[in-house]
Amino acid sequence: MNIVIVGASGYSGAELAKLISKHPQLNLAGLYVSANSLDKGKPLAALYPELTSIVDLTLQPLTESAFTDIEKNCDAVCLCTDHHVSVDLAPKFLSLNKKVFDLSGGFRLDSNSDYEKYYGFSHAKPELLESAVYGLAEWNSEQIKSAHLVAVPGCYPTAALNALKPLKQANLIDDSQIIVNAVSGVSGAGRKANVATSFCEVSLKPYGLFNHRHGPEIEKHLGHKVLFTPHLGNFSRGILETIYVTLKADVTAHDIAAAYQELADEPLVRLLADQIPTINGVAGTPFVDIAWQQQGSQLIVMSAIDNLQKGASAQALQCINLTLGLPAHTSLVGGQHG
């Protein structure tokens, strides 16, 4: 499969370029940025020196001639763009009969009103919200395999949903609201210069109280009320979530362990027996680490991922693998080449 990345100069785009370049059955056919980007014409390795001799491609402007080249020479497009840009670009590439893997939030929610409320723009293609497949690889693999438009999940929802869906499917959670406290490294805010997210300015703090766009995304794909509070931490990458769940009466430790066995055979999920998940344990990896502790009807679940890998690029690659008929973890786990 020949793949191009649009928005390749950002953190997730660069991470995805590295993963695709190392994949034995994928060809990175082009890297694109907006026509007015200051990065156009630069080698990606000039922005990310660690990619020298790994990704030897230059960032090209997404002009009309670029669309012609993509139509002729590639099979799929990965969008690592702003949400509203993805909404504009995805239908154009779909009309060229290309598979689209969107790493933005442009197609994750249900309706235009959701986008007006949580994203602050009117969705130009609400009809695509019904046909877009949510790319939570461990839980939606069959639909992903035949999808033309994949909405790669948000980083916070990826950690929360993998931690909570086993409990929900086993009918162990009572009707009360689940509380998700989450903290992310500053790379989750993107590469654009902003004093509020500058590493030297960041002090651990909550944000997006009651209105963060990942709250409704978690609720939609879990099917349960959630109070989600994100925090920005003064570290570069990684997400750690501490999740508070009230269990139904008489749920036992055995019931919980049995529910999580649903994930036991997933190569990118690590169920930690006697350890607490940490940022250092997942940074730079495609894994999600999950652990839990119970006291009566109260359950605390801990989930950790790398926001740029499992929370973005690695999960996008899982979705690409599935559309190729490959195991989702191909090229992400050592020795797994499909």
Active site residues: 155
| 268 phi/psi in degrees, rounded to 5 | -100, 5
SS (H, E, C) 111-175: CHHHHHHHCCCCCCCCCHHHHCEECCCCCCHHHHHCCCEEECCCHHHHHHHHHHHHHHHCCCECC
Residue with tokens 């007015």: 36
Amino acid at 86: S
Strand 27-33: give its sheet, edge to edge.
Answer: 59-61, 27-33, 2-6, 76-79, 99-102, 149-151, 133-134
Beta-carbon contacts of 103 under 8 Å, excluding residues fewer than 6 positions away, are: 7, 12, 13, 16, 78, 79, 80, 152, 312, 313, 316
Question: Of the candidates 196, 214, 197, 107, which has an alpha carbon nearest to the alpha carbon of residue 150?
Answer: 107
| 253 phi/psi in degrees, rounded to 5 | -60, -35
Dist. CA 86–CA 202, nearest whole Å: 28
- How far from 319 is each of 102, 137, 199, 326, CA to CA, in Å? 11, 6, 31, 10
3-state class (DSSP) for residue 231: strand
3-state class (DSSP) for residue 32: strand
- How far from 43 is each of 70, 76, 162, 171, CA to CA, in Å? 19, 22, 36, 51
In the chain, count H helices and then E strands. 12, 14
